[in-house]
Amino acid sequence: MFKKVLIANRGEIAIRIIRALREMEVTSVAVYSDSDKESLHVLYADLAYPLFGDREIETYMDIEKIIKLAKNVGADAIHPGYGFLSEKEEFAKACEEAGIVFIGPSSKVIGLMGNKIAARKLMIASGVPVVPGMEEAVSDPEKAQKIAGTIGYPVLIKAAAGGGGVGMRAVQKEEDFPVMLERAQQQAGSVFGDASVFIEKYMDSPRHIEFQLLADNHGNIVHLGERECSIQRRYQKIIEESPSTALTPETRQKMGEVAVAAGRAVNYQGAGTIEFIYSNGDFYFLEMNTRIQVEHPVTEMLTGVDLVKSQIKIAAGHPLPFGQEDIRFNGHTIECRICAEDPLNGFSPSPHRIKGYRSPGGFGIRIDSGVHLNYEIPTHYDSMISKLLAWGNDRDEAIARMRRALREYIIIGPKTNIPYLRAVMDSAVFKRGQINTKFIEDHPHLFEDAKIFVAKDEAIHKKLASLLKAH
Ligand code: ADP
């Protein structure tokens, strides 16, 4: 096992990794930007070193600095978390060249799966169904428009190097196509440094269902079931759950097998996720994420498998301690991403100081978070405050637990999406499991319900504010 692992990340995922390392008695090394010097991940780690940078995102993405530091402090491995450098082929390569273990797959696999077009091609060659669309990048507008016509409107223009829901444009009709293509190419170029785009069929109200994989360096690969992540805003997930209400046992088994086949096709090693778009019993490969995902605790609560420890053990060369048939799925788990966003104002970020904070607890609840009282929600990272998870023996119990946990959750200062999440948990449509990626726009009445919760919470917030002052 490793002796010292450097974590090239911040916030809740850095803390999550530190926790795993501490349980494994491995020394954790945090790194931090100038404004993060008093952050929780710095305080929680065994050792912490400054990166001396005030350009927040760039600081955590400075490959040279991070590798040099890792060498200087004698780290034998680096965990990249999610975001930042986690899917940068150059970073994994720099680790490989420096003789430091990158906790994740090889740089080659990251490179292959990081390009959506290359990944699609490989999946087609391996017999994995993909969303109908084109197999090559396209730059010529006339050619692109012809292809879009063949695929049939509506179509989705996607950046080959895209991620985080950025760089996608749905086009409903032919006359809008040229403008949308130009915008998509421009955005792809400026955000990802690669202007190549491709075109897919835009599926009508599909579901997002993904499968968690674990693969070791000894040829063993398993899936740990699915996570349904259909409730999204701006193509980004806010509620995830497992099992999905959409899948029959037969479809689940089939999708699991396809996910494992997809992982095998790239000789995958580590923890990874195969994302599918699901519609009326059919499913199509969307992309592979070659890292730990935000929503990984959903699977952990359902299976009892610690995914972060598994990643670390796999990277250290351990074989998987279980086969597919040993994995048990127990009950139901729901995750809500608690964000500093105003749901009544288009989920716009609300980067303010946390002036009052009390998180829920009790049986079946888990919170992963990097915030604390007086924490200033930064403007330059994403707006997630925490991940709140509720486990139940069945879906109804998980919903009931999530409802009461959301009710207990007090965050004073920034506006949060809690009132909206409460409205969702209370809604008949969510309880029936009738969800898809258009859920938020299809149910505007939930914003009205959220307003009621905002009003209710104001009274509680006032009381808590005086309680906090009194002590
Ligand atoms: P990113 O890498 O930017 O996160 P993904 O390809 O993973 O992009 O897609 C993110 C989300 O966008 C999906 O969960 C889904 O809601 C939507 N989406 C992607 N492709 C399609 C499609 N072909 N049709 C309909 N919705 C799609």
- CA-nearest residue for atom 6, ligand 1, is 286
**What are the extents of the domains in the chain?**
4-103, 132-201, 207-466
Asked if the model's pLDDT at residue 154 lies above 60, the reply is yes
Q: Which one, of 73, 32, 70, 78, lies nearest residue 54 by Cα?
A: 32
pLDDT of residue 169: 92
Question: What is the number of other CB atoms lying within 10 angstroms of the CB of residue 186?
Answer: 12
Asked if the model's pLDDT at residue 470 lies above 70, the reply is no
Mean of pLDDT over the chain: 94
**Is domain 207-466 classified as CATH 3.30.470.20?**
yes
Asked if the model's pLDDT at residue 277 lies above 90, the reply is yes
pTM, 2 dp: 0.96
Whether residue 245 contacts residue 228, with contact meaning beta carbons closer than 8 Å, is answered with: yes
- Give the C-alpha separation, 179 to 20, whole Å: 48
Separation in Å, CA 289 to CA 36, 87, 120, 176, 392: 27, 8, 13, 31, 28
Token pair 């009445």 is found at: 445
CATH of domain 4-103: 3.40.50.20
Q: Is the CB of 454 under 6 A from ligand 1?
A: no
How many angstroms separate the alpha carbon of residue 286 from the centre of ligand 1?
7
How many angstroms separate the alpha carbon of residue 207 from the centre of ligand 1?
10
Asked if the model's pLDDT at residue 60 lies above 80, the reply is yes
Sign, Cα dihedral of 339, 356, 298, 12: positive
Read off the tokens for 313: 């053990």
pLDDT of residue 209: 98
Percent of the chain clearing pLDDT 70 (strictly above): 99
Asked if the model's pLDDT at residue 165 lies above 90, the reply is no
Q: Average pLDDT for residues 343-362, to the nearest whole number? A: 95
Residue 370: Cβ-neighbour burial (10 angstroms; 0-12, 13-18, 19+) = buried
Separation in Å, CA 187 to CA 181, 196, 209, 322, 380: 10, 10, 27, 44, 19
Q: Is the CB of 437 under 6 A from ligand 1?
A: yes
Can you tell me whether residue 233 is helix, strand or coil?
A: strand
- Give the C-alpha separation, 83 to 205, whole Å: 27
The CATH architecture assigned to 132-201 reads: 2-Layer Sandwich (3.30)
Confidence class for position 379, pLDDT limits 50, 70, 90 = confident
User: Residues with Cβ < 8 Å from 88, sequence gap 6 or more?
Assistant: 61, 63, 110
DSSP one-letter string for 281-323: TEEEEEEEE-S--TTHHHHHHHH---HHHHHHHHHTTPPPS--
Supply φ then ψ for residue 251, to 5 degrees.
Answer: -65, -40
Q: Average pLDDT for residues 388-413, to the nearest whole number? A: 96
Confidence class for position 160, pLDDT limits 50, 70, 90 = confident
pLDDT of residue 368: 98
Of 112-126, 314-328, 436-450, the range with the lowest mean pLDDT is 112-126
Confidence class for position 469, pLDDT limits 50, 70, 90 = low
pLDDT of residue 301: 98
User: Residues with Cβ < 8 Å from 143, sequence gap 6 or more?
Assistant: none
- List active site positions: 291
Separation in Å, CA 314 to CA 7, 22, 215, 271: 17, 17, 8, 9
Q: Is the CB of 156 under 6 A from ligand 1?
A: yes
Of 55-59, 167-171, 346-350, 403-407, the range with the lowest mean pLDDT is 55-59
Q: Is the CB of 294 under 6 A from ligand 1?
A: no
Asked if the model's pLDDT at residue 471 lies above 60, the reply is no
Asked if the model's pLDDT at residue 307 lies above 90, the reply is yes
Per-residue pLDDT reduced to its tens digit, 69-117: 999 999 999 999 999 999 999 999 999 999 999 999 999 999 999 888 8
pLDDT of residue 456: 84
- Among 157, 198, 235, name the best residue to mutate to test ligand 1's pocket (greatest count of ligand atoms within 8 A of Cβ): 235
Asked if the model's pLDDT at residue 350 lies above 90, the reply is yes
Q: Is the CB of 14 under 6 A from ligand 1?
A: no
Q: Look at strands 4-7 and 27-32 and give their pairing.
A: parallel
Helices 107-114 and 89-98 cross at an angle (nearest 10°) of 170
- Give the C-alpha separation, 371 to 273, whole Å: 27
How many angstroms separate the alpha carbon of residue 83 from the centre of ligand 1?
17
Asked if the model's pLDDT at residue 467 lies above 80, the reply is no
